[in-house]
Every structure is written in C-alpha cells, then in structure tokens.
A and B are shown apart, each in its own frame.
Chain A
Amino acid sequence: GQQLNQSPQSMFIQEGEDVSMNCTSSSIFNTWLWYKQDPGEGPVLLIALYKAGELTSNGRLTAQFGITRKDSFLNISASIPSDVGIYFCAGTPKGGGADGLTFGKGTHLIIQP
C-alpha cells in the first residue's frame, strides 16, 4: 500500500508557540486530510484538502496541499493546552481509494507548562 512519512514524530513545545508538521509521499495523492486524536478518543477530522496548492484554515490551524501533490503541512498558531494530542495526516492515492484512506504514523504534540 501507499506510505506516508509524517514528521516530526513528537514535539515538545511551550504554550503559545507555533507548531508545524508535515507529511510526504513518494506517490501522488488526490486528497490530503489532517486528523487529531485526543487520548482515549477516535481521530477527528480537522482539515480536508482536495486541490494541489490549496491553502485552508480552520481557526488557528492552517494546512496546505503541496503543489506536487506529494506533500502537505499543518501549522498551529499560538498553541494552547487543548492542542495536545496526536495529529495524523491522511490521503487518498491517485487512482481512487481502493486501498482505503492511508494514514501517517502521527505527530505527538506535547505542551509543556
């Protein structure tokens, strides 16, 4: 199946700092999505991107669909304690989603007081 490389694996930041994480693939994706998983919960969709070059914001979150269609990034501005969790990138490969939605391994965001 398709592989998504997500980095960094974990981030330790101070409250108020900006956060940036990204996801890359060796093959082209038709869609890029970012999910967040809180402890003990299922992943929740944050942002969905459907067009190369698309830049979309959701509050303090901003995500972009790379122009090559092989990468995406997620930025969080002015982090707050409730931003703690695991952030997953996900995508559907070119040619359809027969393999199902592919997830990266996640970025663990930890906010230090």
Chain B
Amino acid sequence: DSGVTQTPKHLITATGQRVTLRCSPRSGDLSVYWYQQSLDQGLQFLIQYYNGEERAKGNILERFSAQQFPDLHSELNLSSLELGDSALYFCASSVSTGRDTGELFFGEGSRLTVL
C-alpha cells in the first residue's frame, strides 16, 4: 500500500460526458502528479501541483483540468470525453516538488472506459 488513494477504481461512461477522478496523497506529501497510461503510449505526464499551486504541465489536453485543494487532495476533470481518452489514470505524490528526487508514490489508478 503506497498510501495514495484514488477513486473511483473503475469508471465507464459515454462519449461527450464529463468525469472527475479524485486523489488523496500520502500523509505529509505536498506534491501531486497525474499520469495517463495507455497501451501504446506508456506513462504520460499530465500535470503537477505543489501545495495547491500548479507547478508543471505536460501533455494535458485543454478538455482536461485539475486542481489541488487546501487539504492537498486533488481532482482531475475530464470533459467532452472521446474514445481515445480510455486509459488508466494514475495519481502520484511526493514530499518535494519532484525536481530533486523523482521518487513518486503511485496510487492504484482509475481505469476509465469511454464507450
């Protein structure tokens, strides 16, 4: 158990819909990262938050947005869903911004299926 909690574990929805994925980081970790994992693309970095503020942005689509709340939990919002958005979405946390260590603790992921 990494200490990172993600909900829901599985989600099935239709194209055009909007979903929210939730992540609670390990106790004491200030940084939260979101990654997308699909079969042909591996782990793709989406976005990072540190203590409530956006710190780094990767290949995140404009239809996707995220935020980190004062209690440090984070939500990833995916809207106008397309078939190609079907993937595993991982949240990870670390104590620091991640610049120094790269040592991340991953949750078990949320599997999104868009039909």
Contact = CB atoms under 8 A, between A and B. Distances in A.
Given A42-B107, A42-B108, A44-B106, A1 B58 contact: yes
Interface stretch (A54-62, A67-75, A91-99): A91-99
Contact of A97 (B2, B4, B56, B107): B56
Interface in B18-69: 33, 35, 41-43, 45, 48, 56, 58-59
A105 B39 CA distance: 9
A38 to B, nearest CB: 10
Interface in A70-113: 88, 90-92, 96-106
Given A97-B56, A97-B97, 11 more contacts: A43-B90, A45-B104, A48-B101, A91-B102, A97-B99, A100-B58, A101-B98, A101-B104, A103-B42, A103-B43, A104-B42
B92 interface: yes
Contacts, number: 70
B35 to A, nearest CB: 8
Contact of A92 (B41, B58, B99, B108): B99
Interface residues on B, range: 20 to 34
A97 B31 CA distance: 13
Interface in B99-114: 99-109
Interface of B: 2, 4, 33, 35, 41-43, 45, 48, 56, 58-59, 90, 92, 97-109
A43 B42 CA distance: 12
Nearest to B59: A1
B102 A92 contact: yes
Specify the main secondary structure of chain B where it touches its partner.
Answer: loop
A41 B9 CA distance: 11
A99 B109 CA distance: 21
Contacts of A40: 108
Contact of A41 (B33, B104, B108): B108
A97 B55 CA distance: 10
